[in-house]
Amino acid sequence: MSRILIVGAGLTGSLCAYLLRKEVTSKLQLVVWDKARGAGGRMSTSRCPSDPKCSVDLGAQYITVTPDYAQKHKLFHNELVTKGILKPLSAVVEGMVMKDGSYNLVTPHGVSSIVKHYLSQSGADVYYERHVTQINLRDGKWEVSCKSGSPEAFDVVVLTMPVPQILQLEGDIGKLINENQRQQLETVSYSSRYALGLFYEAGTQIDIPWAAKYITDNPCIRFISIDNKKRNVESSDIGPSIVVHTSVPFGIEHLEQEKEDVQQVILKQLDAILPNLPKPKDIKCQKWRYSQVTEAFPDCPGQITLHSKPFLLCGGDGFTHSNFDGCTESALRIVETLASSLQNLR
């Protein structure tokens, strides 16, 4: 059985697996590896340690649909809305700037539910805590090694993690990236920020008139969301949750500090903005080293081919732009590139 490995269980990787399953027969084995403990990538939904029913979106907050992509990716948007994975954002978001004709969609069950849907529909074998370190070419197949466990062989490898992580991989892949590709890959850059998730006991009242707000006059905090209110799924049985995103300058300045120390700084600034917040029962601090793409791969091709026989591809928002439609575009380009060879893999 021919095997395709997708590295990265974020939106591009999961959608790529979903689209490949539509293209190929069941005789092909799709495998997804991610170094994290769960699906989502930067579309991450984190659960309260003491109450899994209470969750917060630490990464992407909602999906913005522009007029262009409303037509281009209509099937994807419609499917997710029909299945109840997405619904129109009706809550008040102060400071939001919208372009004419655009609208927003929100995930009632957390933003990672999009990724989980695509992984489930793909039928892929998904493994977490698989941190890829080396890729070597052995007897016409790719031998992929992780920090732990034995190397495994694959007929096709698709890399969807942030570009700097691709450049850090060891083995034959380093020799396969030509000088021009390497120079272009090194131009891809990302912003960095922190996200704080605050979880509260059921019945806690958070008396704030908005569901989310963009902050423009604080040196640390850029965005705050009462997450259950944003999703419009408030329940007396489940405690509310809040997510706080820092500004990019703050994230870069404190990138190498201990998360515990940064957490205290963010909490102090949050108290200055919302001094009457109740005390949370749990807090999670997430460091997004690769938050959003600030400079994409030249000409945004969606993917690049490092090797064609056998295929080794790179994709993700580093080759388009950091939103739902950018990742969708990358997944479509990956599958389009592989389509001609899939017949030979059947």
Q: Which of 6, 8, 62, 75 is CA-nearest to residue 324?
A: 62
Q: Is the pLDDT confidence value at 345 over 80?
A: no
The H or E element that residue 99 is part of is none
Which SS3 state, helix, strand or coil, does residue 157 take?
strand
CB atoms within 10 A of CB 301: 18
Please write the tens of the pLDDT for every residue from 129-181.
999 999 999 999 999 999 988 999 999 999 999 999 999 999 999 999 999 99
- Predicted TM-score (pTM) of this structure: 0.95
Tokens of 163: 């570009």
* CB contact at 8 A, 145 and 134: yes
**Closest alpha carbon to 326 in 346, 308, 300:** 300
Q: How does pLDDT run across 182-226, given as a tens digit for each residue?
A: 999 999 999 999 999 999 999 999 999 999 999 999 999 999 999
13-69: pLDDT as tens digits: 999 999 999 887 667 899 999 999 999 999 999 999 999 999 999 999 999 999 999
